Amino acid sequence: MKKPHSSFSQALQRVRKARGITQEDFDLISSRTYISALERGIKQPTLSKVDELAAHIRIHPLTLLTLSYLSKGGANDLAALQARVSEEVLAILAVAPSK
């Protein structure tokens, strides 16, 4: 199986710009320098930071992560990615004991 390739930096920048939010607008959760480093791919966020960033730009964290894993085909690849994730989650839920 091919290793997934993420482009979190591009996804964050794309959503931020689509929402009309500046890097400075993140000042309550992160510095502009940190946001810039994320968008340049110098740093990678923790899951809790992804939650904070997504909440600030008013999207679900999975939306941000989905955009991170879409290949250059963009919308054409979205259905395939969603189908794969759904398939994998359902398979895991079918065998994993619930608590």
3-state secondary structure of 6: coil
**Whole-number Å distance between alpha carbons of 20 and 17:** 5
Q: What tens digit of pLDDT does each residue of 9-52 get?
A: 999 999 999 999 999 999 999 999 999 999 999 999 999 999 99
Position 6 pLDDT exceeds 80: no
**Least-confidence region, from 18-27, 66-75, 84-93:** 66-75
pTM: 0.82
Mean pLDDT, the chain, integer? 89
